[in-house]
Amino acid sequence: MRISILLRGTLIFSLNILIHLSCSEEPPSSSGEDPGNTDFTLATTVNIGAQGGSISTEEFSLTVPAGSFSQSNEIKLYSKEDTTLFGEDAATKMFKLEGLPSDFTTTIRVALKYNRPLTDESYIAVSEDIADQFTGESSTVYDLKETSDSAGFLIGYIEPPPDNSSLFYLGKSTSVKGEVDKILQGLDKHKTTETINFRFKYPISYEPFIPELSSILEKNYELLIDSLGLYFGKDIYQDSLWTVEITKFPGKSAEYIWYEGWRAGSFYVNSERISNISILKSELEIESGLSLLYIASDEQVDYEYWDSGNSWFFHTLRVWSLELFSTSKNLLYPDDYYPYFSLRQGDWNYIYPVFSGIKYGAFTGYGSLDFTSHGFGMAALLKYLFDYNKLQKYQVGEIYRAIQEGKDPLATLIEKINGLKADWWPDFFKHYVGGGIYNISSSVFTNNIYGEWSINNDDDTLRVYDSDEELRYADLSAKSFIINLNHSTIDESKKLQITIEGDGGSAGLSTLVFSNNNSTLEYLGQTNTGIIEISDLKGFYDSGIRQFFLVAVNSLGIPPYEDHSDIKLTLKVGGKPDNGGGNELDYTHCWVIVTVGDETYEVTDFGTGNTYESYTCCQDFGDVTYEGSFSGNTFTGNYSNTIESGTITRTWEGTITIDIDGALEFANVSFTLNFTHYDSNNSQETKIDEKFIAANIPLNGSLGTTGTYAVEGNQTCDHILSLEVYHKSGLANDPNTGSEENLKSFDCDVGGERITIFFSKE
């Protein structure tokens, strides 16, 4: 890791603070203008080359060691009486050096004669010219060099710049190259204060500001370590304090954060930006926090790993981190505060990355974004993962360390997310489109869709969106569609059936449905088994809801998430389903049983710590009757039962959802069943949790007073999308006793495999 680079890095940021001072305590008054070449008088000119040399007058001297310059340079020295910048703190004339090479290699000694008695601490202020990588704008700040007093002179040193190849890749600014001018002036009436991680240098008149500034900096320092799991290499050095200098940014009264890559780990505070801290405290918190995040990112990952394929994650983190650093309750959107963010709330680019595919560079067609914009858009996903406990903040440090090891940050991120992609990816869109993440305006979504269909009359019954080159679904992506309900006399029996399927059926695919109610997108539901129905279209129309917003979500993909899927979305308007007797589906009970073969379980013995595999065959799963009802073509039900016998208590709890297609020919099923066996005599407990999803189970026979959907034999596995089984046994109040088992695999080639769904009315 580049620990040494951290101590050579300079972060420069401007602060907005109100200091309530009495008249006698007001900071020195100055215009804040850059003195530039105004009114300087040329004192002397000297050529200094590789052999070294000096330039001096009665009031100033500069000494260059041999080998510091690579070639001969004409150095000009100017001087003038000037207190424009530093007011009464100025203790010497102002000097300007022209012609210094920007690539000198050794420390240069300077001496400035002071022109009045000194009080308190003294410094030599040395100008530094810097340029913003993003905007190209240049700026000047004044670095306070520590001094010693020798025979009426302030003695200080100007350090050489570091090797440019080691500059922070993500930093906001770099040093100006070529020949540079330096303006120097000796100062006194300063003071130094130290806190846990920072050393503050400031004019005495600014002392009332230090407690607030130090509190914010220390808070942000701890947030990055304790919350995000990052670290700072400076802490291994004997002098592990960062210097914070309150100084001048002449001509730049509104500068924000700078990262120059020079100096010994110093922050620079723009003394001209002193304002009302009660109003601008959030800005101070965010700017200083982002500065520290730049340093931590540089410290965690060597700059050669911050290529375009990885650095999007840094930009994602810095957008999200605004809410980490700010204590303001009014920070609703990242771009509300940070003026650099070019992706405004109403811009399609703001939401484009999560729809087009969260792998940067996977989509390279028209409208693809650069890695910075991709990172900005991904901030919404990171916020969702943190807000809904799918990812812990400290795992940011783990992802950074994975990048340093050459791993893909997206694959690492997904690996650490708590849950299945088929669960959290659609759930993200549920909250994102519904306004739960950054409260994005509904118009951002509805104005940027992939397809639109209008139901104007009885002839509008079918619309199919087949996946093609334009509508292909990248791994972990989504497409949005609008359905306009314009048919005022639509029959009360009509309903909308939405089906999504791919080459492998509906596994890993889902459709979310929202109603657009007065520009508010309200979540209506979704399905994980390929089909969802919206009943009573007439009722929606009469209530004023004339538009539906759909999000077709592709949760498929494996690392490196660079593939795509062909997916078909079918929209169909039809009447009420018929069960063969002219009546609606009105079954109230559903018995489901699933049998597979050759199950392999991974077993962990908590007593010994050993992990091994066990094998069994032909177990039944489910095998209970759920009680519920149909709403349209969807049956939802529950099962609950408790049996007590002596010291033994056995309980079952379960839920089921079954979607039947419009022709009543196929059923998709999803159920959970949780079983607990508890013995109060010895507190031994056994738990079995089952989760099952299957699709396209065919109708067996016809529907009447009962109905059966079934498949059996070696075709059974073709319909199973997911089967999760978990066993845990041991003491009820001690999770570290006994053992646990997780189903790893199963087959359907032994014999006796089946999926049976049996409906009845009692």
Does pLDDT of 419 surpass 60? yes
476 pLDDT more than 60: yes
- Where along the chain do the CATH 2.60.220.30 domains lie? 7-205+244-277
Cα–Cα distance between 372 and 313 in angstroms, integer? 9
Q: How confident is the model at residue 278 (pLDDT cuts 50, 70, 90)?
A: low
- For 359, the 3-state DSSP assignment is coil
Q: What pLDDT was estimated at residue 301? A: 85
> Would you give the end-to-end CA distance of the chain in angstroms?
69
Residues of the chain with CATH 2.60.120.1050: 443-574
Which one has a higher pLDDT value, 508 or 506? 508
Query: What does 237-305 look like in DSSP terms, one character per residue?
Result: SSS-PEEEEEE--TT-TT---EE-S-SSSEEEEEGGG---HHHHHHHHHHHHHHHHHHHHHHHHS-GGG
Structure-model confidence comparison of residues 238 and 664, the more confident one: 664
> Does pLDDT of 6 surpass 80?
no
Residue 207, φ and ψ in degrees, nearest 5: -60, -35
Q: What is the DSSP string of 28-72?
A: PP------TTTT-EEEEEEEEBTTBEEEE-SSEEEEE-TTS-SS-
* pLDDT at site 12: 39
Name the phi and psi angles at 268, rounded to 5.
-120, 130
Does 178 have pLDDT greater than 80?
no
Q: Name the DSSP class of 741.
A: E
Q: Is pLDDT at 276 greater than 60 in this prediction? A: no
Alpha helix positions (H), 633-700: none
> How many angstroms separate the CA atoms of 386 and 395, rounded?
10
Q: Is the pLDDT of residue 740 over 50?
A: yes
For residues 139 and 130, the answer to whether their CB atoms sit within 8 Å is yes
> What average pLDDT does range 690-719 have in this prediction?
87
Greatest mean pLDDT among 164-178, 184-198, 307-321 lies in 184-198
Per-residue pLDDT, 167: 38
State whether residue 471 is helix, strand or coil: coil
> Tens of pLDDT along 91-137?
999 999 999 998 899 999 999 999 999 988 899 999 887 665 544 55
Q: Residues with Cβ < 8 Å from 117, sequence gap 6 or more?
A: none
Alpha carbon distance 555, 508 (integer Å) = 5
How open is the CA angle 409-413-416, to the nearest 5 degrees?
Answer: 140
Is the CA virtual torsion 535, 541, 543, 544 positive or negative? positive
Domain 443-574 is in which class? mainly beta
Q: 352, 307 in Cβ contact below 8 A?
A: no
Give the tens place of pLDDT for each residue, 221-263.
999 999 999 988 765 555 578 888 877 766 554 454 443 443 3
Other C-beta atoms lying within 10 Å of the C-beta of residue 466: 10
121 in Cβ contact with 200 (< 8 Å): no
- Whether pLDDT at 692 is above 50: yes
Query: 179 versus 547: which is more confidently predicted?
Result: 547
Average pLDDT, the chain: 81
**Model pLDDT, residue 530:** 77
- ∠ CA 591-497-462 to the nearest 5 degrees? 145
Class of domain 7-205+244-277 (CATH, top level)? mainly beta
Hey, what long-range contacts does 644-649 have (CB within 8 A, 24 or more apart)?
A: 647/679, 647/680, 647/681, 648/677, 648/678, 648/679, 649/676, 649/677, 649/678, 649/680
Sorting pLDDT into bands at 50, 70 and 90, what band is 164? very low
Residue 203 has pLDDT above 70, yes or no: yes
Whether residue 658 contacts residue 669, with contact meaning beta carbons closer than 8 Å, is answered with: yes
Query: Residues 573, 579, 583, 584: is their CA dihedral positive or negative?
Result: negative
Q: What is the pLDDT of residues 747-758, one digit of tens each?
A: 888 888 999 999
User: 576: helix, coil or strand?
Assistant: coil
Q: Is the pLDDT of residue 460 over 90?
A: yes
pLDDT for the residue numbered 131: 61
From 266-280, 367-381, 600-614, the region with the lowest mean pLDDT: 266-280
Q: How far apart are CA 375 and CA 421, in angstroms?
A: 20
Average pLDDT rounded to a whole number, residues 720-731: 89
User: What is the pairing mode between strands 242-247 and 258-259?
Assistant: unpaired
**So what's the pLDDT on residue 138?**
66
Q: Are 388 and 402 in contact (CB under 8 A)?
A: no
- Residue 190 has a pLDDT of 86
Two tokens, residue 446: 């509805």
Q: How confident is the model at residue 65 (pLDDT cuts 50, 70, 90)?
A: very high
By the 8 A CB rule, do 511 and 527 touch? Answer: yes
Q: What is the DSSP letter of 355?
A: H
* CA separation for the pair 408, 402 (Å, rounded): 8
CA angle 574, 578, 582 (to 5 degrees): 125
Q: Which residue has the higher pLDDT, 587 or 531?
A: 587
Whether pLDDT at 11 is above 50: no
pLDDT for the residue numbered 555: 93
User: Up-side HSE of residue 745: CA atoms within 13 Å toward CB?
Assistant: 6
**C-alpha count within 13 angstroms, C-beta hemisphere, residue 134:** 13
Position 437 pLDDT exceeds 50: yes
Between 188 and 161, name the one with better pLDDT. Answer: 188
Q: Give exposure, 95-123, as e/b (b: 16+ Cβ within 10 Å).
A: bbbbbbbebbeeebebbbbbeeebeebbb
3-class secondary structure, 698: strand
- pLDDT value at residue 397: 94
CB atoms under 10 Å from CB of 277, counted, come to 19
What pLDDT does 272 receive? 65
Q: Which residue has the higher pLDDT, 254 or 513?
A: 513
